[in-house]
Amino acid sequence: MSNEFNPRRSSPLLIVISGPSGVGKDTVVQRMKERGLPFHFVVTATTRERRQNETHGQDYWFVSKEEFARMIEADELIEYAVVYGDYKGIPKWEVRDALTSGMDVVMRVDVQGAETVRKLAPEALLIFITCEGEEELERRLRERKTESSDSLALRIATARKELQRIEAFDYVIVNRDFHLDDTVNKVRSIIEAEHLRVHPRKVNL
């Protein structure tokens, strides 16, 4: 019997970046893209209106409610949910094609969506992004100025509830102001460590 060490390439990971509104999930994923990290970034489908700085097919797939209903009927979504009155969902084909090619897949979803993914794919890697506390979270949400006062109040209340769901995740990272690259480095370190596990995660969808 040979005692020679023979390292194996672990299976591709399904990485979920999640957390409450206002903690910087979108910004973290955007910086990961800017740095050219070797992941397939899933684009979420949504029925909400496109904001001025957003690009169809890059930030989201912006679809009508009729088209979204068709996708649900055809079982084309890994998960979907109503978020602040609009539908959001993850297209199955993007994730499956990327995993089949051997690429790690990164998806950015809300806390409810992350828990749904965990039920469908128990071996998914769930990373919770947060900030220094509830007061900081509320400040960030107010400074965005993208919603009416009623919508803002609902988003703040929801975010506070989402902070309590941290136990459903594998890792937590505090995304501090002006430390974006530090946050991205921690995400990358987690992913690199996961690929070194003796018993790797194996995602089946």
Domain regions of the chain by residue span:
14-194
Answer whether 13's CB lies under 8 Å from 194's CB. Answer: yes
Per the residue annotation, which of 50, 70, 144, 160 is the catalytic one?
144
Lowest mean pLDDT among 99-103, 119-123, 139-143, 153-157: 139-143
CB 154 within 8 A of CB 82: no
Least trusted range by pLDDT, from 69-78, 93-102, 129-138, 163-172: 129-138
pLDDT of residue 191: 97
Residue 155 pLDDT exceeds 90: no
Which of 51, 70, 160, 176 does the annotation list as catalytic? 51
Residues 169-190 as b or e (16 or more Cβ within 10 Å = b): bebebbbeeeeeeebbebbeeb
Q: What pTM was estimated for this model as a whole?
A: 0.83
The answer to whether residue 188 scores a pLDDT higher than 90 is yes
Average pLDDT, the chain: 89
Q: Is the pLDDT of residue 87 over 60?
A: yes
> Which residue type is seen at 183?
T
Rounded CA gap, 122 and 146, in Å? 35
Nearest in space to 18 (alpha carbons), one of 205, 178, 175, 177 = 175
Residue 205 and residue 13 in contact, taking contact as beta carbons nearer than 8 Å:
no
Which burial class, exposed, middle or buried, applies to 93 when counting CB atoms under 10 A from its CB (0-12, 13-18, 19+)?
Answer: exposed
**Domain spanning 14-194, CATH architecture:** 3-Layer(aba) Sandwich (3.40)
d(CA 190, CA 30): 18
Active site residue 51: yes
